[in-house]
Structure 1
Amino acid sequence: MINLQACSILDLNNQVAPTYSVAFESIKGALLGYPEKKISKELIENIPYASLVMKIGKGSSGLLILESLKGDETIWVSADQVVILLKEGRIVRTLGLNNNLISLKRINQSFKNLISSKESITDYYSYYSYDDPPLSNLKVHVYIEKIGMRDVYILGEQKNLLLIHETISNKEIRWQATNKYWVDPKDYYVWKSVQTVSPKLPKFSYEITKKPANL
């Protein structure tokens, strides 16, 4: 098996490039919407790309594959052109959904700084922007709390991870949610997360099933 870690499948218009349709055809049964019980360790190992399992709201779980990696940003894509951009495990942009998150402005603080620095900032504001309906720079209060170490099982493999809660709120629209991140304290990688990125979208839950080689 060729262990490709990313598959460049987006053209300039953020659509799936026709030249990569064969790659999607070969694994489309495992992508977004595939029955959760059929996503096995063997299936993941046989797909030659980094991958994650994602569930949106009460929908069924499915795989997204890594389209590209640049620094601490990763782009994940499904066969039906749902695109999720993660920056250090945090969803910072979406494509292909209703009320897409198009921008997230926040302080420049990594999970490494949050976990290891005594001067980490745990109370601040972020600004969210959306496309439909258009909304720019929704001011959201953020409060972060380190909960403690937790055992997490991903495809049967146990990981001891630090659970971090991130409570976001805006009193004017009566929106509040708690995002959760399970972070490896050794390399600060986010293996699992539950996030709310919009008052008009359900929760996003994901687990990394095959980590990109360069992270």
Structure 2
Amino acid sequence: MKFLRLATLSVASLLVSACNPLMTASMDTLKAAFEGPEPLELTRQQVDATPYYQITIAAPTGEAVMALVRQQDGVGFWMASTRQILMLEDGLAIRSIGFNNNLDGTRFEGESPFKAGLHRVANGLQTRRQVDFVDGYCMGVTLTSRFEKKGLETVRILDRDVALLRVDEDITMEGLGFTARNQYWVDPADGFIMASVQHLTPELPLRIVQVRPNKPVVQ
């Protein structure tokens, strides 16, 4: 954890540097990302000028850019300049830190379908996982889900149109009376999740887009 703190502080300092082309264009949005909705304006040139893998997130309160600051045991640690951290494993958000509401943990009962890739998921597949929420001290909430492939769709990522397979996940959080639909747009060749809408908590839906993914960009 000490290493993570040092790494994230170092990257955060670089992210907010005035001479950073990406942050020069989006600083105002990042400062307000969790205080009020502001449009995030981002170009391919700005992304390419910053030496980090990057995602954008859109929450009900605003939008921000996050950079990959660490990867360990298949989990990517993504951080915004406002110090929010999002942990992704195989494209699924499994934990968040520093948001207004946070997902504190995720544990699948059996193998995660995200590990093999959602392009291989069978229609109608049902899974269960346990999730923890810091707010409200809700620990071990059972989340049940059902997957269904919806076919290819064109998704615009910055300046490129990408043909991606859409996979829907209808979720229910037992005991909370909460139901929602997560959506994932994946590379049909390898299942890499390029974009998604995920409900981390009942109060925190996020749209996550890989603008500089840790893989070759789909053409």
Q: TM-score surpassing 0.5?
A: yes
Tell me, in whole angstroms, the C-alpha distance in 2 between the residues paired with 1:56 and 1:213. 25
RMSD: 2.7
- Choose which of 155, 167, 173 in structure 2 pairs with 1:152: 155
- SS in structure 2 of the partner of residue 43 of structure 1: helix
CA drift at 1:95: 0.4
Question: Residue type of the partner of 1:76?
Answer: W
Tell me, in whole angstroms, the C-alpha distance in 1 between the residues paired with 2:67 and 2:4. 19
CA drift at 1:14: 4.7
- SS in structure 2 of the partner of residue 55 of structure 1: strand
Tell me, in whole angstroms, the C-alpha distance in 1 between the residues paired with 2:8 and 2:117. 38
CA drift at 1:144: 0.9
Aligned to 1:98: 100
Tell me, in whole angstroms, the C-alpha distance in 2 between the residues paired with 1:81 and 1:43. 20
Tell me, in whole angstroms, the C-alpha distance in 2 between the residues paired with 1:42 and 1:68. 23
Return the TM-score normalized by structure 2: 0.81
Q: 1:41 to 1:133 in 2, by over 3 A?
A: same
8 Å Cα contact 2:132-2:139 kept in structure 1: yes
CA drift at 1:128: 0.8
Aligned to 2:214: 212
CA drift at 1:158: 1.6
- SS in structure 2 of the partner of residue 49 of structure 1: coil
Aligned runs of 1:1-215 on 2, under 5 Å?
11=2, 14=5, 18-20=9-11, 22-26=13-17, 27=20, 28-29=23-24, 30=26, 32=30, 33=32, 36-57=39-60, 59-106=61-108, 107-111=110-114, 112=116, 114-116=118-120, 122-170=125-173, 172-199=175-202, 201-213=203-215
Return the TM-score normalized by structure 1: 0.82
Which whole-Å deviations, capped at 9, do the CAs of 1:25-79 have from their partners, x for residues lacking one? 324443634753521111111111110111111x332211111123532110011
8 Å Cα contact 1:36-1:62 kept in structure 2: no
Tell me, in whole angstroms, the C-alpha distance in 2 between the residues paired with 1:214 and 1:15. 29
8 Å Cα contact 2:8-2:69 kept in structure 1: no
Instruction: State which drifts further: 120-129 or 166-175.
Output: 120-129
CA drift at 1:160: 1.1
Question: What percentage of residue pairs aligned between the two structures are identical?
Answer: 19
- SS in structure 1 of the partner of residue 83 of structure 2: coil
Tell me, in whole angstroms, the C-alpha distance in 1 between the residues paired with 2:75 and 2:9. 24
Instruction: Name the count of aligned residue pairs.
Output: 203
CA drift at 1:19: 4.5
Q: 1:24 to 1:37 in 2, by over 3 A?
A: closer
Tell me, in whole angstroms, the C-alpha distance in 2 between the residues paired with 1:74 and 1:18. 16
Tell me, in whole angstroms, the C-alpha distance in 2 between the residues paired with 1:192 and 1:44. 16
